[in-house]
């Protein structure tokens, strides 16, 4: 069989989307040595993350050119049995599509998106979902949300969970702490969080909870480290840190490499994930796999991922987040118990298992004899997106 994967996210620091496609491709190479795979990449240097025997094709980073022309041109030349994309399929395709939709936060919580981005996502994802042969999502929560949002049969959607990569594991903690100390310039214990600096990730709420805990317990010497790509929302998060009263203890690392992230997970005293909404919440598993106690939100898919191995809180209530932080920071016995439970929980997820389930979906589509949905006509395509049919 011949499978094509839109891997344009690789090398672009697109966090979850990039981790997802890189992890699948690596596992595909281990699990399926007979099929032909085509990886469509955009960034220079992305080739290093593609398994050696996979065929690589270059497509534009610009989404209009990639979705409007490059993918369709490569599909005609490569003639795969299907194309796997995340969220948005090309405008014109000669093969069936499998679409991964990690979540529909742009529908359920449009306030987390720029005004110009909301309608574009609503329209392009809806078209991709309706025309797809199969849809993959990453949790039962997201499957239910997709079925609420779109009028599609339940058996069209497959919930296949993410996993922490094998690189995320316990390492020498003293060495990790020493390396982090040298990079960040402090030797105190620290609370750690990962996520792009954007409204949905709720770093402002975490800063408020951390500051309240430090005020309540002035003997604590803890710092707060926030790792994640900067966005348009970054100035507001930085302002919250500056006005918190503990600015000297709050550190922003920006985007970091996987090796640096591994050290940060291992060096921290505990990990906090205060997001308002997640289709999965992969950092929860990554921190658990590194043997760290996890505190996370009780909303969306996060309780499903943590499943009793994390301390939950209401992300809308700073007092509740502070309570969870207090419990874990002050109680070493509780912290050790959560570390043990987290390691057990993370071990239940593997990319090999997720990739095998994804390959099963591929084969179901390829063997069904399905053809591509009717192509979108040029009249439906407008500047900056698609026009609605009248």
Convert the pLDDT of each residue in 216-243 to its tens digit.
999 999 999 999 999 999 999 999 999 9
For residue 374, pLDDT over 50 is answered with no
CB atoms within 10 A of CB 74: 21
pLDDT of residue 14: 66
The contacts of residue 140 (CB under 8 Å, 6+ apart) are 159, 301, 304
**Percent composition of the chain: helix, strand, coil (DSSP 3-state, to 5):** 45, 15, 35
Task: Kindly report, as residue ranges, where domains of CATH 3.40.50.2000 are found in the chain.
Answer: 2-163+351-386, 173-346
Q: Helix 318-330 and helix 332-346: axis angle, to 10°?
A: 100
Domain spanning 173-346: which superfamily?
Answer: Glycogen Phosphorylase B; (3.40.50.2000)
Domain 2-163+351-386, what fold? Answer: Rossmann fold (3.40.50)
pLDDT of residue 377: 34
Hey, which residues does 157 pair with through a beta bridge? Answer: 135
Most distant CA pair in the chain, distance: 67
Mean pLDDT of 327-343: 98
pLDDT digits 0-9 by tens, 69-110: 999 999 999 999 999 999 999 998 999 999 999 999 999 999
* Percent of the chain whose pLDDT exceeds 90: 89
pTM, 2 dp: 0.91
For residue 389, pLDDT over 90 is answered with no
If one compares 386 and 154, the residue with the highest pLDDT of the two is 154
From 1, 246, 19, select the one nearest 9 (Cα to Cα): 19
């Amino acid at each position: 069989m011949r499978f094509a994967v839109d891997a344009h996210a690789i090398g672009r620091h697109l966090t979850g989307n990039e981790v997802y496609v890189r992890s699948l491709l690596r596992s595909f190479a281990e699990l399926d040595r007979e099929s032909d795979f085509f990886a469509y990449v955009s960034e220079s240097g992305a080739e290093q993350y593609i398994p050696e025997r996979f065929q690589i094709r270059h497509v534009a980073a610009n989404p209009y050119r990639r979705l409007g022309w490059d993918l369709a041109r490569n599909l005609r030349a490569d003639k795969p049995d299907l194309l796997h994309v995340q969220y948005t399929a090309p405008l014109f395709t000669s093969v069936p599509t499998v679409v991964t939709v990690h979540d529909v936060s742009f529908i359920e919580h449009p306030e987390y998106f720029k005004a110009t981005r909301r309608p574009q996502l609503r329209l392009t994802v809806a078209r991709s979902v309706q025309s797809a042969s199969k849809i993959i999502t990453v949790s039962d929560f997201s499957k239910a949300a997709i079925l609420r949002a779109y009028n599609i049969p339940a058996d069209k959607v497959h919930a296949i969970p993410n996993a922490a990569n094998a690189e995320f594991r316990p390492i020498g903690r003293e060495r990790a702490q020493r390396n982090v100390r040298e990079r960040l310039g402090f030797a105190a214990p620290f609370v750690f969080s990962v996520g792009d600096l954007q409204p949905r990730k709720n770093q402002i709420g975490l800063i408020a909870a951390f500051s309240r805990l430090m005020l309540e317990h002035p003997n604590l010497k803890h710092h707060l480290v926030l790792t994640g790509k900067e966005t348009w929302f970054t100035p507001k998060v930085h302002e919250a840190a500056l006005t918190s009263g503990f600015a000297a203890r709050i550190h922003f690392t920006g985007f970091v490499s996987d090796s640096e992230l591994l050290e940060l997970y291992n060096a921290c005293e505990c990990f906090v994930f205060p997001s308002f909404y997640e289709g999965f919440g992969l950092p929860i598993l990554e921190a658990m796999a590194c043997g760290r106690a996890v505190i996370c939100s009780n909303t969306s898919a996060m309780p499903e991922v943590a499943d009793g191995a994390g301390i939950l809180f209401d992300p809308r209530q700073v007092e509740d987040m502070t309570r969870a932080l207090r419990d874990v920071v002050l109680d070493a016995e509780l912290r050790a118990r959560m570390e043990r439970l987290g390691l057990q929980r993370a071990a239940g997820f593997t990319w090999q298992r997720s990739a095998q389930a994804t390959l099963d979906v591929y084969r179901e589509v390829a063997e069904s004899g399905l053809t591509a949905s009717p192509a979108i006509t040029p009249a439906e395509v407008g500047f900056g997106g698609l026009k609605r049919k009248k």
